[in-house]
DNA sequence: CTGTAGCATGTGGTCAGACCACACCATCGT
DNA sequence: ACGATGGTGTGGTCTGACCACATGCTACAG
């Protein structure tokens, strides 16, 4: 029946079917490797290869020892897998850096637009219930943390990454959040390398902080076009300044993603 | 030095560094597993686990036997890895189907907008050189193939997937193309299941074909807003019809960017 | 000299078995 | 009652062996 001929693919398919059928759910333990090998009629090494793949893809976590926290446990943390995939694809030249930056621009514009629209909607219904407002507490916290003058470039950029990721998280879209995390980590090396070549890091970091605040403000004000425009110039501006995106088209930072539109509202 | 303690992570990191430094490039052969194991001072099984991960992520292809086509060869085909990751994340409930659909909507809207803008730009410069126009020959071919009345539902949907993927390919963004491929394959099962519950498949497929042609027409006409609107209603409409996105918001396909009054497009 | 059959070689794919490190847990001794 | 200690089961790793397969060389027949 199976198209799969390699033993480890049989194991992978078996686990995927168990996930789809609900026999395995997040939090569950996989059977011990030896038991799984015996059950499927393959060697333990084949089981291990399949488990290794699932671990890298962020589907499970393994730990040795005994007790309830040991063994292979189903988790669904796509961020790590997405990061590994995109980082390696960039390293192997399958993903041009320019495409990574462009995609990030599209997704982040969509994120802040959605957040601003949610804000506007919450305000329009004169809702006293804070639950309808997007939760911007984490981004706000990071905003404050980035104001510390003692931060090194690397520390600031780490907080910056967290800030943008927190926005994606606030939008509530898991796929977008994981993808953004992957995109960011894929070009992390380039971002950091670019920062060292800046004319004045204090000037740049000051500008970045101001832009962050402006983006948050536009979201809270319920102004989607402004939020979108600000986030686009924020990202494109940094990459332009660091010469990261040298061969990007001239109209790269134009506000044509206005036109990308996206599924909004709920 | 290495933070990595597991042997297979050492191997993975070593290969990643070779990629980043340019010692390994697409098309190159990895050393034989046994040689790599000896070189890195680990067991062959650890090397194999790392290679397995890279294979699933789409970074290399392995084949047994002898000769120049055998062994592990660096390729950078992100589609497969992205598909595996997203398919499994959906299976493990890390990616809600609704988020997958939303993300697809965002990306595909961006793709057709970009294509339409490129068309408009090419036309505006009265350029006789066809190179500046986006290459829509593949989507056009698929459009014709989908007209065949003998197609089964599954065959039609396969061509439909190819059509949307061809649009992404035409946009030239590798990251978006790979991501769209992954998103599509993640919900392929749901799409096919939904099709069987339709009131009238002939009616639906006729409508889908017409919508495809309208999208292509809007792109060729250089009308980004129209292309965006059409692709959004196309995708959202199908999911709504198949009850795939039951808990998506009612105004899911609304185009709020127009409602803001902000001038869109260029 | 030519062509072909067949063997040598090197590759990934798989398995079995062994050992280690580790974390829990039951038992035992105080 | 409590703490030390060894048992037990887990993943992590290595070794060595064998298989299947594709290539390419070699020896033999024509």
- CATH number assigned to the domain comprising residue A30: 1.10.10.10
CA dihedral A134, A137, A138, A142 (to 10 degrees): 130
How far apart are alpha carbons A109 and A196 in whole angstroms?
A: 27
How far apart are alpha carbons B89 and B92 in whole angstroms?
A: 5
Task: Output the six-digit token pair for B10.
Answer: 């050492």
For residue B130, give the CATH number of its domain.
Answer: 1.20.120.530
Q: Are residues A122 and A42 in the same domain?
A: no
Residue A221 has pLDDT above 90, yes or no: yes
pLDDT digits (tens, 9 = 90+) for B182-211: 999 999 999 999 898 888 999 999 999 999
With a CB cutoff of 8 Å and minimum separation 6, the contacts of B2 are: B9, B10, B13
Q: Are residues B141 and B207 in the same domain?
A: yes
Residue B254 has pLDDT above 50, yes or no: no
pLDDT band at A150 (very low <50, low <70, confident <90, very high): very high
Q: Is residue A259 part of a domain?
A: no
Q: Are residues A150 and A60 in the same domain?
A: no
Q: Are residues B90 and B202 in the same domain?
A: yes
Query: Which of B77, B224, B225 faces A94 most closely, judged by CB atoms?
Result: B77
Task: State which of A74, A109, A137 marks the end of a domain.
Answer: A74
pLDDT band at A199 (very low <50, low <70, confident <90, very high): confident
**pLDDT over 70 for what percent of chain A?**
88
Beta strands in chain B (DSSP E): 60-63, 71-74
Interface contact flag, B94 A77, Cβ < 8 Å: yes
Q: Is A63 on the interface with B (CB under 8 A)?
A: no
Q: Is residue A137 part of a domain?
A: yes
List CB contacts (< 8 A) between A263 and chain B. 102, 105-106, 232, 236, 252-253
Give the structural domain span for A183: 81-247
A187-190 long-range Cβ contacts below 8 angstroms, 24+ apart? A187/A90, A187/A97, A187/A100, A187/A101, A187/A244, A188/A87, A188/A161, A189/B20, A190/A97, A190/A244
pLDDT digits (tens, 9 = 90+) for A80-128: 999 999 999 999 999 999 999 999 999 999 999 999 999 999 888 865 6
Residue B127 has pLDDT above 90, yes or no: no
Q: Are residues A67 and A150 in the same domain?
A: no
How far apart are alpha carbons B232 and B109 in whole angstroms?
A: 7
Q: Is A26 on the interface with B (CB under 8 A)?
A: yes
DSSP secondary structure letters along A68-128? TT-EEEE---HHHHHHHHHHHHHHTTSS-HHHHHHHHHHHHHHHHHHHHHHHHHHHHTT--
More confident residue, B253 or A83: A83
Q: Are residues B164 and B45 in the same domain?
A: no
Task: Output the six-digit token pair for B50.
Answer: 């790392």
Q: Are residues A144 and A167 in the same domain?
A: yes
With a CB cutoff of 8 Å and minimum separation 6, the contacts of B233 are: B211, B253
Q: Are residues A159 and A58 in the same domain?
A: no
Q: Across residues A205-230, what is the average pLDDT?
A: 97
Q: Is residue B266 part of a domain?
A: no
Q: Is residue A265 part of a domain?
A: no
Task: Output the six-digit token pair for A255.
Answer: 């506000």
Please check whether residue A193 is in contact with residue A157, taking contact to mean a CB–CB distance below 8 angstroms.
Answer: no
Q: Across residues A209-233, what is the average pLDDT?
A: 97
Residue A139 has pLDDT above 90, yes or no: yes
How far apart are alpha carbons A118 and A260 in whole angstroms?
A: 18
Q: Across residues A233-256, what is the average pLDDT?
A: 65
The pLDDT, as a whole number, for residue B123 is 87
Q: Does nucleic acid strand D have an atom less than 7 angstroms from the CB of B2?
A: no
Task: State which of A13, A47, A74 marks the end of a domain.
Answer: A74
Q: Is B230 on the interface with A (CB under 8 A)?
A: no
Neighbouring CB atoms inside 10 A of B190's CB total: 17
The pLDDT, as a whole number, for residue B258 is 33
- Which sign does the torsion angle of CA B96, B98, B100, B102 carry? negative
Under DSSP, the state recorded for B3 is S
Interface contact flag, B252 A259, Cβ < 8 Å: no
Q: Is residue B255 part of a domain?
A: no
Q: Is residue A188 part of a domain?
A: yes
Look up the pTM and report it.
0.91
Please check whether residue B38 is in contact with residue B64, taking contact to mean a CB–CB distance below 8 angstroms.
Answer: no
Q: Is residue A261 part of a domain?
A: no
Q: Taking the CA of residue A231 as centre, how many other CA atoms within 13 Å lie in the half-sphere pointing to its CB?
A: 32
Q: Are residues A55 and A156 in the same domain?
A: no
Task: State which of B17, B46, B74 marks the end of a domain.
Answer: B74
How far apart are alpha carbons A123 and A222 in whole angstroms?
A: 8
Task: Output the six-digit token pair for B55.
Answer: 């294979």
What are the φ/ψ torsions at residue A169 (nearest 5 degrees)? -60, -40
How far apart are alpha carbons B204 and B93 in whole angstroms?
A: 29
Q: Is residue B265 part of a domain?
A: no
Q: Tell me how many domains chain A contains.
A: 2
Q: Across residues B201-230, what is the average pLDDT?
A: 96
Interface contact flag, B59 A224, Cβ < 8 Å: no
Q: Are residues A48 and A152 in the same domain?
A: no
Q: Does nucleic acid strand C have an atom less than 7 angstroms from the CB of B68?
A: no
With a CB cutoff of 8 Å and minimum separation 6, the contacts of B153 are: B192, B195, B196, B201, B205
Q: Does nucleic acid strand C have an atom less than 7 angstroms from the CB of B92?
A: no
Residue B169 has pLDDT above 50, yes or no: yes
Residue A254 has pLDDT above 60, yes or no: no
Interface contact flag, B229 A257, Cβ < 8 Å: no
Q: Are residues B51 and B92 in the same domain?
A: no
Q: Does nucleic acid strand C have an atom less than 7 angstroms from the CB of A68?
A: yes
Q: Are residues A65 and A161 in the same domain?
A: no
């Amino acid at each position: 029946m199976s198209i799969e001929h390699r033993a480890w693919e049989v194991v992978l398919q078996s686990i995927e079917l168990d996930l789809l059928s609900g026999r395995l759910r997040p939090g569950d333990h996989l059977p011990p490797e030896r038991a799984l090998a015996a059950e499927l009629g393959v060697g333990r090494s084949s089981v291990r290869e399949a488990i290794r793949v699932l671990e890298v893809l962020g589907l499970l976590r393994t730990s040795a020892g005994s007790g309830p926290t040991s063994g292979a446990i189903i988790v669904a943390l796509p961020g790590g897998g997405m990061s590994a995939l995109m980082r390696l694809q960039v390293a192997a030249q399958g993903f041009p850096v320019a495409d990574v930056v462009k995609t990030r621009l599209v997704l982040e514009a969509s994120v802040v637009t959605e957040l601003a629209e949610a804000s506007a909607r919450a305000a329009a219904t004169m809702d006293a219930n804070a639950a309808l407002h997007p939760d911007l507490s984490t981004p706000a916290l990071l905003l404050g943390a980035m104001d510390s003058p003692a931060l090194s470039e690397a520390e600031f950029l780490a907080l910056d990454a967290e800030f943008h990721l927190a926005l994606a998280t606030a939008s509530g879209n898991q796929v977008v959040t994981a993808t953004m995390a992957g995109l960011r980590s894929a070009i992390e090396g380039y971002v950091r390398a670019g920062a060292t070549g800046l004319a004045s890091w204090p000037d740049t970091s000051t500008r970045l902080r101001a832009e962050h605040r402006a983006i948050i403000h536009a979201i809270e004000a319920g102004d989607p076009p402004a939020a979108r425009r600000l986030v686009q110039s924020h990202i494109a501006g940094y990459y332009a300044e660091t010469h990261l995106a040298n061969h990007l088209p001239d109209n790269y930072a134009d506000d044509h993603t206005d036109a990308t539109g996206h599924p909004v509202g709920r």
